Amino acid sequence: MTRSSIFLLVTFTSYAILSKILFDYIYSAANLIVDEEFHLPLGEQYCKFHFNTWDPKVTTLPGLYLVSSALLGPFGLCSIYWLRSISLLFSCINLLLFYVLFSRTVQNEWQKVSLAIMMNLLPPLYFMSHIYYTDIVSLTTVLIFIILNERGQHYFASLAGFFSIICRQTNVIFVAIYGGKYVLKGLYDSWVQKTDPFKKAGDFPIKNVKPFLLDILGNPFKILQNTTIHFWLNSLCYLSLLVFFLVFLIVNGGIVVGDRNAHHISINIPQLFYFSLFCLIFGWPHFLGEVLNFVTFAKNHKVFILIFTFIAFVIVHFNTVVHPYLLADNRHLIFYVWSRFYGKYWWFRYAIIPVYVFSLYVLFKILWNPRDVSFFILFTVGVTLLLVSQSLLELRYFLLPYIIIRVKTKNVDTAVFNMVLEFVTYSVMNMITFNIFFTKTLYWTDMDYPQRIIW
């Protein structure tokens, strides 16, 4: 074994052991944690192979419960402890998947392992690794989907994409992003071959976007006739998933399967601002180095910055959506952020707009690649649709988009220094949030047991 392989094994083992110790502490401290009161009873029923039960308060499809049934049901391990262990198990799997994912963009073996453990320790994500929520299993399916998609194994990727949708319906956005990128690049390749048969297409540069769109809209058959059966068979894998999801929407009458009054589609543009702030807080080492660049950009583009800031001001003023759950559920940290800042001081939501502008600038720089804009276009549109349609401000919605952006982040010169800062930041935040969880209790009149504060 190489030293890097030993480092990966030691890291994985240490993560599993330490997380298991923390897992046991959490289990002994709390019987039910927030929405586990809905997930655990269903998980137990599915674990016992009772598939005809459902709770109308649950909004997602039963992917988590099916996994519990497959892994725990045959052994009769249907207690709270074992159901929660599903998240811990898949958290360990995610560590290996992150390693594989970073292997495509990072050459240094030590950095691959460090980045993998870093992403698994992302505080909101790491906390979910110890409770029975859909987030961890959902993340596993999406990571598998992305890895298979990027390796060109589109049939198996579509299977992973299907199960990711079964775990959480909104994962269809990521299926559409990565599947759409394959289709877009395939059509672009055909267009390039039509215009110049001896030229290899490769990337999708910004300079070719306009002529490509005009050509494919004006005369699509000439481009389509250059495509191959292999391309269409692969594309059909992704298109069939989108058709399946469309049928589900029609039959179900919406995207959520329960509690529709509290989870309806809305137009909530400030979600993009909150997401940019989330990225800034958890990825601040990578944002810090862009401060001077942003100042220079702002000086050179004063009119653009002023117009964008004014538009953001108008959006915040007229489109700030405050979901009833945000004001009522004091078991989430975001409740205290809102009640002590956004809700308490009317001016705060306006004063923080320059921070949004800076954060969005950095995110644009991370994602923008003029030599290949295919991913930028699809990711920006997809994540915008995902976030803007959510009326509830929930940090868990930001996890997958942030993880994908973090994988795309390239700071080779300062990578080690930034990783150290990230590790310290995540460690401190995890210690603080777990300390709050263990030491602070709340009492709800309609609950027989104390409530605790989580992400």
- Examine the domain organization and report whether 90 and 22 are in the same domain: yes
Asked whether residue 421 carries a pLDDT value surpassing 80, the answer given is: yes
pLDDT at 201: 56
Helix (H, G, I), strand (E, B) or coil at 441: strand
Asked whether residue 197 carries a pLDDT value surpassing 60, the answer given is: no
Q: What is the 8-class DSSP label of residue 449?
A: S
Cα 160 to chain centroid, rounded: 16
Nearest to 86 by CA among 22, 26, 39, 130: 130
Average pLDDT of every residue of the chain: 92
> Do the domain assignments include residue 159?
no
Residue span of the structural domain in which 278 resides? 267-410
- Examine the domain organization and report whether 426 and 350 are in the same domain: no
Burial (Cβ within 10 Å: 0-12, 13-18, ≥19) of residue 1: exposed
Cα(119)–Cα(124) distance, integer angstroms: 11
Per-residue pLDDT of 262-286, as tens digits, reads 667 789 999 999 999 999 999 999 9
Cα(312)–Cα(306) distance, integer angstroms: 10
* DSSP states of 76-142: T--SHHHHHHHHHHHHHHHHHHHHHHHTTT---HHHHHHHHHHHHT-HHHHHHTTSS-SHHHHHHHH
For residue 198, name the pLDDT band (cuts at 50, 70, 90).
low
Looking at residues 317-338, what average pLDDT do you find?
Answer: 93
> Vertex 366, ends 361 and 367: CA angle to 5°?
100
pLDDT at 262: 66
Cα(147)–Cα(97) distance, integer angstroms: 8
Asked whether residue 360 carries a pLDDT value surpassing 70, the answer given is: yes
- Examine the domain organization and report whether 353 and 380 are in the same domain: yes
Q: Who contacts 156 (Cβ-Cβ below 8 Å, separation ≥6)?
A: 148
Cα(414)–Cα(419) distance, integer angstroms: 9
- Examine the domain organization and report whether 386 and 271 are in the same domain: yes
Nearest to 337 by CA among 288, 287, 386, 395: 395
- Examine the domain organization and report whether 59 and 109 are in the same domain: yes
Looking at residues 241-259, what average pLDDT do you find?
Answer: 90
- Examine the domain organization and report whether 129 and 74 are in the same domain: yes
For residue 414, name the pLDDT band (cuts at 50, 70, 90).
low
- Examine the domain organization and report whether 359 and 431 are in the same domain: no
pLDDT at 155: 96
Nearest to 364 by CA among 309, 398, 409: 409
pLDDT at 1: 65
Cα(268)–Cα(272) distance, integer angstroms: 8
> Do the domain assignments include residue 211?
yes
- Examine the domain organization and report whether 18 and 114 are in the same domain: yes
Contact at 8 Å (CB) between 361 and 297?
Answer: yes
> Do the domain assignments include residue 283?
yes
- Examine the domain organization and report whether 86 and 212 are in the same domain: no
Q: Who contacts 355 (Cβ-Cβ below 8 Å, separation ≥6)?
A: 277, 280
pLDDT at 408: 86
- Examine the domain organization and report whether 288 and 325 are in the same domain: yes
Asked whether residue 254 carries a pLDDT value surpassing 80, the answer given is: yes
Q: Give the percent of the chain with pLDDT over 70.
A: 97
Residue 142, Cβ neighbours under 10 Å: how many? 27
Cα-flanking dihedrals φ and ψ of residue 429, to 5°? -65, -40
Cα(145)–Cα(16) distance, integer angstroms: 24
**Which one of 213, 231, 264 terminates a domain?**
264
Asked whether residue 415 carries a pLDDT value surpassing 80, the answer given is: no
Cα-flanking dihedrals φ and ψ of residue 265, to 5°? -70, 135
Q: Among all chains, which residue has been given the structure tokens 């490509």?
A: 212
pLDDT at 4: 75
- Examine the domain organization and report whether 417 and 445 are in the same domain: yes
Residue 17, Cβ neighbours under 10 Å: how many? 10
Asked whether residue 308 carries a pLDDT value surpassing 90, the answer given is: yes
For residue 411, name the pLDDT band (cuts at 50, 70, 90).
low
Contact at 8 Å (CB) between 132 and 83?
Answer: yes
For residue 196, name the pLDDT band (cuts at 50, 70, 90).
low
Asked whether residue 194 carries a pLDDT value surpassing 80, the answer given is: no
**Which one of 239, 264, 289 terminates a domain?**
264
> Do the domain assignments include residue 162?
no
Tokens read off for 172: 């269809």
User: What size, in residues, is the chain?
Assistant: 455
Per-residue pLDDT of 153-187, as tens digits, reads 999 999 999 999 999 999 999 999 999 999 999 99
Q: Find residue 454's DSSP bridge partners.
A: 332
> Do the domain assignments include residue 140?
no
Contact at 8 Å (CB) between 175 and 159?
Answer: no
The most distant pair of C-alpha atoms in the chain lies apart, rounded to whole Å, by 73
Contact at 8 Å (CB) between 266 and 378?
Answer: no
Nearest to 64 by CA among 172, 147, 139, 155: 139
Helix (H, G, I), strand (E, B) or coil at 451: strand
Cα(309)–Cα(135) distance, integer angstroms: 34
- Examine the domain organization and report whether 234 and 256 are in the same domain: yes
Asked whether residue 203 carries a pLDDT value surpassing 90, the answer given is: no
**Which one of 228, 248, 264 terminates a domain?**
264
Nearest to 227 by CA among 235, 215, 218: 235
Tokens read off for 288: 């810090």
> Do the domain assignments include residue 236?
yes
CA atoms within 13 A on the CB side of 268: 21
Residue 249 CA: distances (Å) to CA of 16, 51, 209, 254: 39, 22, 32, 5
Cα(143)–Cα(360) distance, integer angstroms: 25
Number of domains in the chain: 3
Per-residue pLDDT of 100-135, as tens digits, reads 999 888 888 888 999 999 999 999 999 999 999 999
Contact at 8 Å (CB) between 257 and 191?
Answer: no
Asked whether residue 449 carries a pLDDT value surpassing 90, the answer given is: no
> Do the domain assignments include residue 114?
yes
Identify the weakest region by mean pLDDT among 118-132, 269-283, 338-352, 410-424: 410-424
> Do the domain assignments include residue 156?
no
